[in-house]
Every structure is written in C-alpha cells, then in structure tokens.
Amino acid sequence: MDLLIVGAGRMGRWFARTCGGESVAFADRDPAVAEAAAEEVGGRAVALEGDEGFDVVCIAVPMSGAADAIAEHATRGRSAVVDVTGAMGPAVEAMREAAPYRERLSLHPLFAPERAPGNVAAVFDKRGPVTGRIRGSLVAAGNRVVETDPETHDRAMETVQAKAHAAILAFALAADPVPEGFVTPVLDAMAGLTEAVTGGDPGVYAEIQDAFDGADEVAGAARRVAEAADDPAAFVALHDEVGPVIEPDDTAGRADEGAPASGDEASTTEDPDDGTDEASATEDPDDGTDEASATGDAGDGAGDPQ
C-alpha cells in the first residue's frame, strides 16, 4: 500500500507512522515541512499540486481547510480516501462528493500524537479491504477504534472539545494567582487542565471553537451559577441538576478492540470516470486550499486536554 499524506504536521505524521504501508509520501503547502516529515518518519516529499496517484490519500489539514483539500486531492487515491481533520460531518460529506467510488474513512484520534495510543473515533463510510487494513494497523498499535457516525461524533465534540476548552479557558481568565499552600485537589486539577489548554496551539483551539457549538452554553451555565450565588436553595438545585458527563461506551457507538473489519463493501475502483485526472471540484483553481497546512493540525487539538 502506498500512501499520500496531505498535510505534513503532527497528525499527518502520526497517521503515517501508525498506518503507513510500503511507501509514504508527504505533501504540504510548505515544502520544507514535507521534507522534514519525510526525513522524520521515512518516505519522500512530493509536490502538493501534483497528480501522482496513490493507493490511499490521507487528508491531515486543519478543519477549516478540510473540505477544499478533500475536493482537491481525494481523487489521487486509487482505492481509498481518509481524513484525520477532526470534524467528521463536513469531511464525510466532502469525501462522498469527491470520491463516491472509493473507500472512505474518517478518523479522529482523541489524543495528541505524543500521547498515542488511545481512543480513535472512526466513521467507516464506505468499507473495503484498504480501510480494513487501516483499522488493523490502528489496533495493532494499541489504539481502541470506536465506530460512530458523523452526527454522533460532532455532537459529542461540542462537549468533549468546545465546552470543555471554553470552561477551562474561562476559569483561567477569571482566576487570580493563589499561594501554593492554599492549593486544593480541585484547584490543582484545574491548574493542570489550564496548563494543558494554554500550552497548546491557540490556533487549533480557535478552530475547534469555530467548528463546534458549546461556548455560549458554558457562558449561560456560568451566569446561572452566578445568579444563584446568593440563593442557597437555587444553588443546591443547580448542584443537584448535574448528571454524569461520561456514558457507557455502547451509547456512543461500537467500540471495537481488535478484529479488522470484514470489508462488507468491497473497494470499488472500477468507476468508468473515476476522476483521477479531473479538475478540483472547487470553482477556483487557486482557492487557498494549499494554505491549510497541517502544521497546525486540527486533530492535534482533539486530545491535548482530553
């Protein structure tokens, strides 16, 4: 299996290390980044605007550039197109449009690459032997593949990412420095979360806030708490209103610990007009897709604070 990674940042390199086949190529808006990835992971750098074909194309750019990058590069994958951008709804829709006859897989590693392995959310939108092999590689590397659908995933990310990050950042903005001798276990935990969020790439966190709703609800909840501060009964009622945040796995999707997919839909590469040499589906041939370098991977922010 030969693999093209579009976006040679941290998440693209993670996918190459974990799922790369016999050969790996990196393309990036910054050729030096592609060269560095090829040297670090092993492989070669290729031009972003090239038309060379590969068995698999993996899109690893920021969420804001995912749809354009998929439209531009999906047809370079002879058998499959994969994305690790983080917002599954728009990515899956773009892959269906750009690659209707190819295997399609959307992945969201719920961790920063340096913290691998971990949970990997997965939408097998069109199964086949190649996506089955990728699943096997993920599991072999110690990851837990959790199958879901785009709607369930993106709705969950409103809490997992947007609300969590907004709440932590708001706390950090409101907090005053406290002498170490006054630190409680709760404050210590919050300080650790604050460090995790503020130590990450702010551009990644901004993309997450733009992609997923949730910050306004956090602000509304904070207002409710503030309004109840002088009313003990109202405060107790709010406290009692809180329910579990984490549900059992079977409510989120099927968690698959091991066996590769059976490939119940065979890979279809017999499209009589498979688009290999088609122009990009975007109207503007220079629409800024190349500006969405994965040096600020959307996926990176997925797991930084977890």
CATH of the domain at 131: 3.40.50.720
Query: How many angstroms separate the CA atoms of 169 and 270, rounded?
Result: 50
178 with 114, same domain: the answer is no
Q: Is the Cβ–Cβ distance between 254 and 144 less than 8 Å? A: no
258 with 222, same domain: the answer is no
68 with 211, same domain: the answer is no
8: phi then psi, degrees, rounded to nearest 5: -100, 30
Domain span including residue 199: 157-241
Split into its structural domains, the chain has a count of 2
Structure-model confidence comparison of residues 293 and 145, the more confident one: 145
With respect to residue 92, please indicate whether it lies within any of the assigned structural domains: yes
Structure-model confidence comparison of residues 253 and 10, the more confident one: 10
With respect to residue 99, please indicate whether it lies within any of the assigned structural domains: yes
33 with 81, same domain: the answer is yes
Q: Which of 135, 133, 65 shows the shortest CA–CA distance to 296?
A: 65
* Helix spans in 85-211 (H): 88-98, 129-140, 150-157, 164-174, 185-198, 202-211
With respect to residue 284, please indicate whether it lies within any of the assigned structural domains: yes
**pLDDT 10s digits, 95-118:** 999 999 999 999 999 998 999 999
Instruction: Tell me the three state secondary structure of residue 95.
Output: helix
Quote the pLDDT of residue 248.
81
Quote the pLDDT of residue 247.
85
Quote the pLDDT of residue 255.
53
Q: Is the Cβ–Cβ distance between 278 and 75 less than 8 Å? A: yes
191 with 99, same domain: the answer is no
Alpha-carbon torsion (150, 63, 106, 79), positive or negative:
positive
With respect to residue 232, please indicate whether it lies within any of the assigned structural domains: yes
Cis status, amide bond into 109, omega within 30 of 0:
no
pLDDT > 70? residue 236? yes
State the burial class of residue 246 (Cβ atoms within 10 Å of its Cβ: 0-12, 13-18, 19+): exposed
The CA distances from residue 275 to 185, 204, 269, in Å, are: 57, 32, 11
Quote the pLDDT of residue 118.
97
With respect to residue 246, please indicate whether it lies within any of the assigned structural domains: no
Lateral strand order in the sheet of 77-83: 44-45, 23-27, 2-6, 54-59, 77-83, 103-109, 119-126, 144-147, 254-256
Query: How many angstroms separate the CA atoms of 19 and 228, rounded?
Result: 51
32 with 129, same domain: the answer is yes
Domain boundary among 193, 215, 241: 241
Q: What are residue 291's DSSP bridge partners? A: none
145 with 178, same domain: the answer is no
190 with 105, same domain: the answer is no
Average pLDDT, the chain: 85
Predicted TM-score of the model (pTM): 0.81
- As a whole number, mean pLDDT of residues 66-92 equals 97
Structure-model confidence comparison of residues 114 and 258, the more confident one: 114
Q: Is the Cβ–Cβ distance between 296 and 204 less than 8 Å? A: yes
Quote the pLDDT of residue 141.
97
Domain boundary among 241, 266, 293: 241
Spatial CB neighbours of 148, under 8 Å, sequence gap ≥ 6: 88, 121, 122, 123, 156, 252, 253
141 with 188, same domain: the answer is no
